[in-house]
Structure 1
Amino acid sequence: MIKPSSPIPPHLRKLQLSFLDQLAPPIYIHIILYFQPSQHHHEYSKLETSRKLKQSLSDVLSIYYPLAGRIRDNSWVDCNDAGAEYIEARFNNDRILDASADIPLAVQVNFFGCSGTAIGVCVSHRLADAMSMVTFINAWAAACRGDSKTIAVTQPTFNLASRFPPVDFSGLFPSGPPPPRQKIVTKRFVFNERKLAALRKAASGPLMENPTRVEAVSAFIWRHFMESVSLKDNMNGENMVFATSHVVDIRARASPPLPHQFFGNACGRAVAMKTVSSEGQDNNYYDLAVKLREVIRKADADYVRRLEDGDAFLKYISANNENDPAFKDGRKNLEICSFTSWYRLPAYETDYGWGKPVWVSIINVPYKNLIFFLGTKSGNGIEAWVNMLEEDIAVIETNYELLGNIVKPQGI
């Protein structure tokens, strides 16, 4: 356990989670950074690198002190300096990086026989979103390489609850039996410049001449997910309702904007709906991309203002016409897929003192119909990590191959 290098003042001992933190799923988010072999990573240097990593982690935890505390009742953090879990492995390790329910942070450092290094970071989603996680990682890296200037400009603030006060969720979401276990497959699809160009052209039209990379890839996956489900499910003459949600960073959307240093879950969700009749219908990329853009743009300053009053926001969501009745009565003909984009996160800028990563990945996430977007090292591509049933993955893969010959992007 790595503890902060300096004790936390008593008046900072208790950190209240915000309404947005309460909305985050009770899971851990993971990221892995892979570094090329370096002349600094011979056997002696591995010991010195290990010492620097642990010392700098201790130093940065005195700044990011909630990560060294313990989560209590899923509603607040006891900033008690208990420490973050640090695991180190040589050559190979069978352990899957994770943490017990109340530990906010776990780190695993792997030294490989080729002298390459991988650093995996696991953060409780109750405490942080992906932007906060990567900001912390870059601060740790800056501390490791002795860059005090970078640390100074990334000083975090932990008062998100002052802007988004917590609410009482008790009795709001009735408990029921867990869904049946299904075999979820994780597959990575790399959309390089060639594939993205073909897809963005297919998703262009009079209302959207130049869809973004994220809009185009989201429309592609959503379309072929609907195609797969519609083909295999017996709809018995009923319409099928498909929903997709996109996580949106609200820092810049708020008025006034939230400072970049706000640590926590500063994000909301944009939900798009699509009804498919039992006779089936073609969902082209353009129509779906337009629908996605419309709902994402609705996550504006007014949306953020509603989030600032959690009780009122929950009432708004329950009464809003955008929420199809299928959400409320639990109909079986509703399928949801969820997107979260880490595409623009500065993970490839991380430098512990031996260079920037050659690849950044996540791990397999066994949650049905959850899709992550990561950037590529070149900055011109998107990696889509898709978690779905095997038969749905197969339909997406078939259409992915049709986008053009697979060309390995530069920097991958």
Structure 2
Amino acid sequence: MFGVQSVVDRIVRLDILTLAEASVTFPPRNPMPPKYLSMMDNLWFSEANYMTRRFIFDAKALSQLRAIAKGEREATPSRIRAVSGFIWKCFVAASRAISGSPKPSIFVQALSLRPGGKPNLLDDSIGNLFWWASATTSAGTGAELFELVDLMRESIAGFDDEYLNSLQGEQGFEAIAEYLDQLETMFSSEKPDTFAFTSWSNLGFYKVDFGWGTPQWIKDNMFIDRFNEGVPFLSAQISCRLSEFLKRQEIESLNKLLPCQPFCNESNNDAPLLVCQVTMFACGGIALGLCTSHKITDAKTGLILCNIWSEVSRGISHHNIGNPTLPEASLVFPPKNPMPQNYLSVMENLWFTEANYVTRRFTFDAKAIAKLKAMAKGESEARPTRTEAVSGFIWKCSMAASRATSGSLKPSIIAQAVNMRARGKPNSLDDSIGNVFWWASAHSNPAETGTELSELVDLMKQSIEAFDDEYLSSVQGEQGFQAIAEYINQLEMLFSFEKPDIFAFTSWLNLGFYKADFGWGLPSSFALFGKVGPAFRNLTVFIETKCGKGIEAWITLDEERMLVLEKDPEFLKFASPCLKISSL
């Protein structure tokens, strides 16, 4: 084995070798003329509200784009050129739609100078060894995909041996300066759009192995392929006090404390199953943000993780920390492999529909909850729980909002998340890790049945009572999928005929997240998320107020219905809007 100093010496020697060669081949210009620095600064940096979105082009889409981009030529373009050209084409169309007129456009591709450069010793050189190949299209020219790919091909073809040689040595800056002068002339007269592309394909990041195995998270969208990949842990800083941040009225700001977009449709199996972010505030306050994949976790699993993590952080011996059970849930509820595609499609269509969803937080205090429980009781003997009473009330008001926006009565489904651990046998599932819940659904058609709170709560009660020992036994074991399939088939039939609204509810009450102490004391505030993904359906999550006597309802609806709900006087008799992220 190498000692630490030996390893450091080896790294230092390697850096000196590979770094020096690049700077010899492409010597730096000192001083760099200020006009070129300003030009590059203006070219790449322009103040605007920029956003990032991630899109996937699957193998079928790539094949189709390559065929379209081929045109009448003999050679089929690479997947990078086909996709780059397609995105460029769409960018040009988007720019025209915004400005109302066609604009000139510059496409710049980052090209590595290593493979084309001579000598070959640049292959492993360290440095910023790339330059831009640019293609332009004027306002009046066509923008067919194959035409754009031709322009891209010609720009790359210009990086031949003669041009690469011209970039090297002391005289190389003259070629760079000529390129920059051409850009300056173009920008001063035409004000073109610039779209930059760079490809990291085939670099092999997924082959990097630090001793934990190569990065891969989920296999076939069904199984965890490896358990030793590690967890991405990010750190961030915010230049304000925690108390100032929590006074903000924009709940969307909470996403700054999360390492990734919450509640979105994640189809990429290479995405991490758990990501953590710790954010330090100027006052020394700390925010810990967690994002987990619902494919393998639920709220109970998240609580188990937080409890164990906090105990380890406080220095509690591992002998005194309870060990969660990992395999039991998958033994009781074995996965279906392969999962029939039609069921995957039904569930995806059920939960993910494109719309502009917004999340708002409302508080139901102890007095409001008591009144709602009395109203929800009706003539039945059993007094409903606070979760049932508040869920039924929000369901009722959501249906009213839906009627106000659509102008008609629509059938409605409430789907309540039911923890299978507490109801399942054997009891070994109590501390099981996994996505161990299922939906209890109730159906209401306002055109045929009443929508009084007591009636809706009765429907909810009946759906949960159906989760008896007989039903729980039917969904377990190898034959359990048949019961699940029957449920999905019923939903599919219902949606094909009635097109109902669906409102999902999940309760995180009594889980104890406010008791998680990582060694800094109990949390001052606990929050869920800010802005959900663009395709996530209507969802309400309940958490306790810090005092434990009230309920915070984090309600996500499409924007139209939310605008109605926020102004509904009946709703506001019991629900108090939370105008700040926290009252801390």
TM-score (norm 2): 0.53
1:358 aligns with 2:524: yes
What percentage of residue pairs aligned between the two structures are identical? 28
What letter matches 2:391 in structure 1? S
1:191-219, CA deviations, whole angstroms, 9 ceiling, x for partnerless residues? 11122122222212221552211101101
Matching residue's letter, 1:274: S
Query: What is the RMSD of the two structures over their aligned residues, measured on CA atoms?
Result: 3.1
2: CA distance between counterparts of 1:363 and 1:187? 10
Per the alignment, residue 126 of structure 1 pairs with 295
* SS of aligned partner of 2:526: strand
Aligned length: 337
Match of 1:400 in 2: 571
Are 2:489 and 1:316 aligned?
no
Over 3 Å counting, the alpha-carbon distance change for 1:318 and 1:109 in structure 2 is: closer
2:501 and 2:546 map into 1 onto residues whose CA distance is: 33
- Shift of residue 86 of structure 1? 0.4
Q: State how far apart, in whole Å, the 2-side matches of 1:201 and 1:271 are.
A: 23
Please say if residues 241 and 326 of structure 1, whose CA atoms lie closer than 8 Å, have aligned partners that are also in contact. Answer: no
Structure 1 distance, partners of 2:256, 2:405, is: 37
Secondary structure class of the residue paired with 2:471: helix
Is the CA contact 1:143–1:151 (under 8 Å) kept in the aligned structure 2? no
> How far is 1:390 from its partner?
2.5
Which residue identity is paired with 1:290? D
- AA aligned to 1:361 is A
User: Take 1:404 and 1:371, find their aligned partners in 2: how far apart are those partners?
Assistant: 14
Provide the C-alpha distance between the structure 1 equivalents of 2:382 and 2:272, rounded to a whole number of angstroms. 47
1:407 Cα offset (Å): 10
Q: What is the CA-CA distance between 1:245 and the residue it aligns to?
A: 0.3
The two structures have a TM-score, normalised by structure 1, of 0.73
Question: Aligned partners of 1:318 and 1:257: how far apart in 2?
Answer: 27
Alignment equivalent of 1:245, drawn from 415, 419, 428: 415
Residue equivalent to 1:78: 225
- The answer as to whether partners of 1:377 and 1:411 remain within 8 angstroms in 2 is no
Gaps of 5+ in 1: 1-64
**Could you tell me how far apart the structure 2 residues matched to 1:134 and 1:97 are?**
18
Structure 1 residues 217 and 82 mapped into 2: Cα distance closer, same or farther (>3 Å)? same
- Structure 1 residue 132 displacement after superposition: 0.6
Q: 1:150 to 1:358 in 2, by over 3 A?
A: farther
Contact kept in structure 2, 1:72 and 1:102, CA below 8 Å? no
Alpha carbons of structure 1 residues 138 and 243: separation in structure 2 relative to 1, 3 Å = same
Report if aligned partners of 1:250, 1:266 keep a CA contact under 8 Å in 2. yes
Which protein is bigger by CA-based radius of gyration? Answer: 2
Is 1:97 the equivalent of 2:265? no
How many angstroms apart in 2 are the aligned matches of 1:377 and 1:407?
14
Please state how far the C-alpha of 1:151 moved relative to its aligned partner.
Answer: 5.3
Q: Is the 8 A contact 2:329 2:429 kept in 1?
A: no
- Label 1:171 to 1:355 Cα distance change in 2 as closer, same or farther (>3 A): same
Query: What is the identity, as a one-letter code, of the residue corresponding to 2:226?
Result: C
User: CA separation of 1:406/1:79 partners in 2, compared to 1, >3 Å: closer, same or farther?
Assistant: closer
Relative to structure 1, is the Cα distance of residues 331 and 151 closer, same or farther in structure 2, using a 3 angstrom cutoff? farther
Q: Is the 8 A contact 1:371 1:387 kept in 2?
A: yes
Q: Is the 8 A contact 1:194 1:404 kept in 2?
A: no
**Conservation of the 8 A alpha-carbon contact between 2:273 and 2:293:** yes
Unaligned residue ranges in structure 2 (runs of 5+): 1-211, 240-254, 262-267
For residues 100-149 of structure 1, the C-alpha deviation after alignment (integer angstroms, 9 at most, x for no partner) is 74311100001111221110111111111110111111101100111126
Cα distance 1:150–1:83, how it changes in 2: closer, same or farther (>3 A)?
same
Give 1:30's aligned residue. none
The residue aligned with 1:190 is: 363
Amino acid at match of 1:270: A
1:232-268 Cα distance to aligned partner (Å, 9 max, x none): 3244xxx631101000001121133343221101111
Q: Give the match's secondary structure for 2:379.
A: coil
Equivalent in the alignment of 1:263: 433
Give the match for residue 46 of structure 1.
none
Aligned pairs for 1:256-405 within 5 A = 256-277=426-447, 283-308=451-476, 309-317=479-487, 325-327=493-495, 329=496, 331-332=498-499, 334-364=500-530, 365-366=532-533, 367-397=536-566, 398=568, 399-403=570-574
Classify the secondary structure of the residue corresponding to 2:423: coil
Distance in structure 2 (CA, Å) of the matches to 1:193 and 1:407: 16
Higher helix share: 2
Do the aligned residues in 2 keep the contact of 1:243 with 1:273 (CA within 8 Å)?
Answer: yes
4+ aligned runs moved over 4 Å, structure 1: 92-96, 174-180, 404-408
Partner of 1:200: 373
Alignment CA distance shift 1:209-1:252 (3 Å): closer
